[in-house]
Structure 1
Amino acid sequence: MNAPNSFRNQPPTGANSFRQQPDSRGHFGQFGGRFVAETLMPLVLDLDREYRAAKADPAFRAEFDDLLEHYVGRPSPLYHAERLSDALRTGAPAGMGAQVWFKRDELNHTGAHKINNCIGQILLAIRMGKTRIIAETGAGQHGVATAAVCARFGLPCVIYMGAKDVERQQPNVFRMKLLGAEVRPVTSGAATLSDAMNEGLRDWVANVHDTFYIIGTAAGPHPYPELVRDFQSVIGREAREQMLARTGRLPDMLVAAIGGGSNAIGLFHPFLDDPSVAMLGVEAAGHGLGGSEHAASLAGGFPGILHGNKTYLLQDEDGQIAEGHSISAGLDYPGIGPEHAWLRDIGRVEYDSATDAEALDAFQLLCRTEGIIPALEPAHAIAAVARRARTMRADQIILANLCGRGDKDIFTVANALGVAI
């Protein structure tokens, strides 16, 4: 099977590769692992075995690739943002100002990268004989993607969503309901993504016999961080092939927004063994890293255990999880995927942050220079691109992932800008 989108169509990894698989217990260095209730451990182990078998099964890979092409609409375009590039060169020294390119995953069916992973996981659920699907969602894009694949395969689904996110992401809540999903608001804690994931795990423990949990980010107990990464790596494989075809070279820097980190690891992973390619993950700095209202777990957290894995977390001195904040509902998770934690600690990937205000400015900049309305999640990446592009030469290339479109965020943005709609 040599289909260009196949998650098996990757160069081999070696002992010195940054593209390491986790060990048998799911650890990337000290991070990752399986920290789940005894009730869930047999199911998690079954999922691991089934995933290994699926990866080796040509029929599974063929169905996955077929759905990516004909249902999702892949490959997504690679776009040279010439007007944005020109705008970022304004005021820069002569010869400075990198070319900005975008991998346009916001053009996927359902409007974000999340659908790639949902296709893979629902095929695994069907393979395991599960008849009920649950998921968590923050910005709603994973919930919409889960609801879409459940409608496609005729399976009932329940989506857990923080009550705060239900309020600020009404368009996606309605889309989920139109697709047949039951949306359950979660009022505990901060009523955001982390709390929704807590409720999803509680549901899973209570219904292990028939339920499959489609986790939306590259976190959770092993094998979730690995399998989500593998399903999302179609982003980076396509980008690599497209960039070589269009420019004859690899980009100098990759940039992606980071919440839990699925879109970023999907872009980064196929390039990890290319030393010429720098990588930048962008966390949500909220109202600033100097206070507590942010969601930058790498910049402001330390290692701990949450949602079945060990990683960097926002927490107090007693290990109690702190509430993350971001204007973006998809970035206010108080942790990060364990592979990102490992890549940060070994120095292969750099991690930065952008504030709410910077993301809003970048949101408007892309709208006005390229006619593209991004989601608030990739707007954080665009803010970092704007900073970095001015420090790089004009013959260098930055490739950023536009992981979601912004129609879901227009009410949030309008409110932040003081516009009544």
Structure 2
Amino acid sequence: MRACGLDFGTSNTTLGLNTPDGPRLCLLEGTHETVPSAIFFEADGSEQIGRAAISAYVDGVGGRLMRALKSVLGSALLDEVTLVGRQRAPFRKVIAHFIAEVKARAEQQADAEITAVVHGRPVHFVDGDPEGDKAAENALREIGHSIGFRDILFQYEPIAAAMDYEQQISHEEIALIADIGGGTSDFSLVRISPERRHAADRAGDILANDGVRIGGTDFDRVLSLATLMPLLGYGTAMKRAGLNVPSGYYHDLASWHSINRIYDPKVMRELREVRREAQAPERLERLMQVIEERRGHALAGDVEAAKIALAAAPETQIPLGWMEPDLTLGLNRAEMAEVTALLAERIAGRIDSLLQQAGLKREHVDALFLTGGSTRLAHVRHAIVSTLGEARVVEGDTFGSVGVGLTIDARRHFG
């Protein structure tokens, strides 16, 4: 039996195997250990995943791109049927196609079948809905069995990150693990030590778990609605007093997992009516151009890229010359922090709940271990770090810590 650790993320996915030299993440796309959680179905029925999928879409190849696949777990979308290529398939089958390809690439590197997996999962797939949360995990288990995993276990993603961090410490600590990913923000308080990391049962070392379904894609959505979508008519008035242009189109266009809804032919028919009654019809024409040219995912990618750029620089731009000559959207870090401040506050607010669960005070936490791509956002990082001012801040592998930890856990369970 060959076992792996699988971190199927909202934005990126990793898979790790245990080797004589320790846990190792597989190269899932070229020289990359990460593969974007995206799949592209070409018109002829062929499939591509990851960066290749995104490139095919951007290059204008005919077909359908789907991203943030994990976001549909725990939602009604999971069993909805959607058009892929020339056929219709439920979203769970789309997820199965993606994970099966990741598994196949890892098996090619291992030169062996992988039959067992420790699957990462957020603390909450669905906030405040235990039944929905259970259904999401069961769906992921069913998908795993359908693609050839015979033995499937689940581990909380922040606990997995704690297992990765534990490899580098020399004495016992209480660590708060903050895993701020693409779809969820998860926290765990864990007692770790060089001696404890060899124990088969670590349940007693997990002092508390908490999380919220807020992640990087939510920052993308809010940033898009606040800055880009107004250029397409979001928030503008209709001729009839007291009415604005319907907002549903823009929310779909700003959310990775619902972008394809906007391409339904009935949407364009509705928009022609809305344009006639809008006070700023030229902005509705821009929206209609986006739909006609199927630029939704490209625009969402532009917003995501701008967010990432603002993590490293104070300002950036999104060129929109394809829409209108010389049209450019300027963005700055302060503006992003302002419009997404509530998201950052809600993420950091889970820490007090976590401490209450564990019966601990802030000063009892020795280390704050940060992982996940959204920890790169300065205001998110500040909101978390300022909550635990005395704890030592430790940087994890932004995209690899959870996968490595899951692989370590796979060794503990499956040998």
Task: State if a TM-score over 0.5 links the two structures.
Answer: no
* Higher radius of gyration, 1 or 2: 2
More helix by share: 2
More strand by share: 2
What TM-score, normalized by structure 1, do the two folds share? 0.32
What TM-score, normalized by structure 2, do the two folds share? 0.32
